[in-house]
Amino acid sequence: MNNRWWIYQRERFPVLAHGPMVIVFCLSVMLFSSLQEGGFPDILRIAGAVITTVILFFQLRVADEFKDFADDSKYRPGRPVPRGLISLKELARVAWIGAVVQFAIAIYIDIGLVPILILVWTYLGLMTKEFFVANWLKKTPSVYLISHMLIMPLIAFYVSAFDWLCECRAMPTGLGWLLLFAFGCGLVLEIGRKIKSPDAERDGVETYSSLWGIGIALSAWTAACALAVAAFVRAAAFYGDTNLAINSGIAILGLVVIVAVLMPTKSNSKASIRFIEPGSGLFTMLLYLGLGPLQAVIG
- Band of residue 234 on the pLDDT scale cut at 50, 70, 90: confident
Q: Where in the chain is the domain with CATH 1.20.120?
A: 173-299
Residue 30's nearest CA partner among 239, 281, 183 is 239
- Band of residue 245 on the pLDDT scale cut at 50, 70, 90: low
Q: Given 3.40.50, 3.90.79, 1.10.10, 1.10.357, which CATH number is that of 1-10+39-168? A: 1.10.357
Mean pLDDT of 37-50: 90
Residue 32's nearest CA partner among 208, 278, 287 is 287
Contact 53, 80 (CB under 8 A): no
* Lowest-confidence segment of 24-38, 148-162, 221-235, 238-252 by average pLDDT: 238-252
* H-run or E-run covering 27: helix 15-34
- Band of residue 283 on the pLDDT scale cut at 50, 70, 90: confident
Top-confidence residue, 143 or 256: 143
Check whether 47 has a pLDDT greater than 80: yes
Side chain identity at residue 7, one-letter code: I
pLDDT tens-place string over residues 97-134: 999 999 999 999 999 999 999 999 999 999 999 999 98
DSSP for 229-263 reads HHHHHHHHTTTS-HHHHHHHHHHHHHHHHHHHHH-
For the ranges 38-42, 180-184, 206-210, the maximum mean pLDDT occurs at: 180-184
Which distant-in-sequence residues (6+ apart) come within 8 Å of 53 by Cβ?
22, 25, 26, 155, 159
- CA 71 to CA 245: how far, in whole Å? 43
Contact 67, 203 (CB under 8 A): no
CATH of domain 173-299: 1.20.120
Mean pLDDT, the chain, rounded, equals 87
Q: Where in the chain is the domain with CATH 1.10.357?
A: 1-10+39-168
